[in-house]
A and B are shown apart, each in its own frame.
Chain A
Amino acid sequence: MGIDRKFIGRESEERSVEVEKGQLRLFAKATGETNPIYSDEVAARDAGYPALPAPPTFAFSLALLAPAEGGSLTEMGVNIGNVLHGEQHFDYRAPIHAGDTIRLKSRITDIYEKKGGALEFIVQETTAHNQHGTLCVAARGITVVRR
């Protein structure tokens, strides 16, 4: 049985998450990042950043760190063991830094299938605004569900 198409248009509740510098340092270490601006506050300030900058893909982590119930895999009856990441896109409008509080809102924009339903695709768009109400990142991801 496939994913109920009624979830197309499903919006998440708005959630907010603080950008923690310890989390940024762990992310930098885990990704082998050697540029000190991502872990050393003095280096970041010397490079003109007000605090440690969040690296380009970190907005996706913020969404994982503050998971929504609305439009979640659980709500759609999808088991995490059956999913693959299909695509991920980011449009950058303003930088995100340590200490920011980011408000996230997500929406399922499409669900479709290929290979006679053996694979289903969930398209989700997420916006990330900072504490000043500025749109920082608009993201679009596609999750692939194996049947």
Chain B
Amino acid sequence: MSTATLTVGSDLPAVVTEPISRFTLAMFAGGSGDHNPMHVDTDFAHSFGMKDVFAHGMLSMAYLAQVLTKTFDQRAIRSYGVRFVSITPVKATVTCTGKVTEIFEEGGERRARLALTATVDGGVVTLQGDAVVALI
């Protein structure tokens, strides 16, 4: 899609994931290099007072990044950051959304600032993020 027509308030197409299975967490442990047992070993989670394993924050950050890469060429992304607001439980479905909050000139190019949000079932916010992309 052409990104030159985006205006403040424009919504980006959402990304909705499959429910996060334990298999997905094992795959992401290997794929991401994050070998923290908290995400794959229920016994380990219990020993630290958690009822179950929970998803890697960076898995949701990767899902939320797909809102960016589905609309923009990755080479146009200037910055991307998130706050991890709450834990993403295993079996959760993650809904990732993005909205244009500002359009401005910087670094000799037109850029858009985006507000990004990841939520899980029931609308619980798990990640709040922002990104700056070049509109080229």
Chain A interfacial positions (CB closer than 8 Å to B): 23, 26-33, 35, 53, 55-57, 60-62, 64-65, 80-92, 95, 140
Contact = CB atoms under 8 A, between A and B. Distances in A.
Given A31-B63, A56-B69, 10 more contacts: A23-B33, A27-B62, A31-B31, A60-B58, A80-B36, A81-B48, A88-B61, A90-B81, A92-B80, A95-B75
B31 A88 contact: no
Given A26-B30, A92-B77, A82 B61 contact: no
Contacts of B18: 32
A84 B63 contact: no
Nearest to A56: B65
A55 B65 contact: yes
Contacts of A80: 36-38
Nearest to A62: B33
Contacts, number: 108
A95 B84 contact: no
B62 A55 contact: yes
Interface in B9-60: 17-18, 24, 27-28, 30-38, 44, 47-48, 56-59
A33 B67 CA distance: 11
Contact of A81 (B33, B38, B70, B83): B38
Contacts of B37: 80-81
A118 to B, nearest CB: 13
A56 B75 CA distance: 9
B110 interface: no
A56 B62 CA distance: 7
B81 A55 contact: no
Contact of A91 (B36, B48, B68, B78): B78
A27 B81 CA distance: 19
Nearest to B79: A91
Given A26-B31, A57-B58, A81-B47, A33 B79 contact: no
B74 A82 contact: no
B82 interface: yes
A26 B28 CA distance: 8
Given A55-B62, A57-B65, A82-B48, A31 B28 contact: yes
A57 B36 contact: no
B66 interface: yes
B58 A56 contact: no
